[in-house]
């Protein structure tokens, strides 16, 4: 990233409330209704849910303010799931989503995974376009969860 004001680091428990706030604001912005069963348990326990499972969760900051994040969680020895990739509204359209996706793909390759997959909502048109532009294709083998109507995968 060429912007000197941008930094990244592994998420820690003190980031949980900020991350949940970004998620909730984004869901509201895109008019995504969460089912009562929707959970942020992975965010409440980032250390055990991601890093403790040999995954990764990185926050992106501008001058100390968390502006985005990406989470990766292994599915099995050959597949990893991109669980969460979000940016605050005023930081979208600046190439930061592409930057986070590149970080996720590099991490996944370095760990030896053969496939990366994700589920998302078609309401996130820009995100779906980003994934498709980067070689993700429909993954018809996945049973999607409540708020997701798009499943994509990419060989690494």
Strands (E), the chain: 6-10, 56-62, 65-74, 79-87, 115-120, 137-138, 150-155
pLDDT at 149 over 70: yes
Question: Quick check: is 95 in a domain?
Answer: yes
Higher model confidence: residue 78 or residue 138? 78
Give the CATH number, domain containing residue 23: 3.40.630.30
pLDDT of residue 146: 64
Give the separation between CA 131 and CA 64, rounded to whole angstroms. Answer: 27
**How many residues would you count in the chain?**
156
Question: Quick check: is 16 in a domain?
Answer: yes
Average pLDDT, the chain: 92
Neighbouring residues of 62: CB distance < 8 A, sequence distance ≥ 6: 3, 5, 6, 91
Q: What average pLDDT does this structure show over 55-76?
A: 96
pLDDT at 34 over 90: no
pTM of the model: 0.92
List pLDDT tens digits, range 37-60: 788 999 999 999 999 999 999 999
List pLDDT tens digits, range 110-135: 999 999 999 999 999 999 999 999 99
Question: Quick check: is 45 in a domain?
Answer: yes
Question: Quick check: is 69 in a domain?
Answer: yes
Q: Which domain does 63 fall in, by range?
A: 6-117
| 127-130 contacts at long range (C-beta below 8 A, 24 or more positions apart) | 127/85, 127/97, 128/152, 130/97, 130/98, 130/101
CB 105 within 8 A of CB 84: no
Question: Quick check: is 66 in a domain?
Answer: yes
CB 148 within 8 A of CB 117: no
List pLDDT tens digits, range 93-104: 999 999 999 999
Question: Quick check: is 108 in a domain?
Answer: yes
Question: Quick check: is 144 in a domain?
Answer: no
Token representation of residue 148: 């997701």
Q: How many domains does the chain have?
A: 1
Question: Quick check: is 67 in a domain?
Answer: yes
């Amino acid at each position: 990233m060429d912007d000197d004001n941008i930094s990244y680091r592994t998420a820690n428990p003190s980031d949980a409330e900020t991350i949940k706030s970004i998620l909730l604001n984004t869901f509201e912005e895109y008019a995504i209704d969460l089912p009562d069963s929707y959970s942020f348990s992975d965010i409440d326990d980032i250390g055990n849910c991601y890093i403790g499972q040999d995954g990764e969760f990185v926050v992106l900051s501008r001058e100390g303010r968390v502006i985005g994040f990406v989470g990766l969680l292994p599915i099995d020895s050959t597949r990893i799931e991109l669980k969460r990739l979000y940016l605050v509204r005023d930081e979208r359209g600046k190439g930061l989503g592409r930057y986070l996706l590149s970080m996720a793909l590099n991490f996944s390759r370095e760990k030896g995974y053969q496939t990366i997959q994700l589920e998302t909502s078609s309401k996130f048109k820009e995100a779906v376009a980003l994934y498709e532009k980067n070689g993700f294709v429909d993954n018809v083998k996945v049973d999607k969860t409540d708020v997701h109507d798009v499943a994509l995968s990419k060989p690494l």
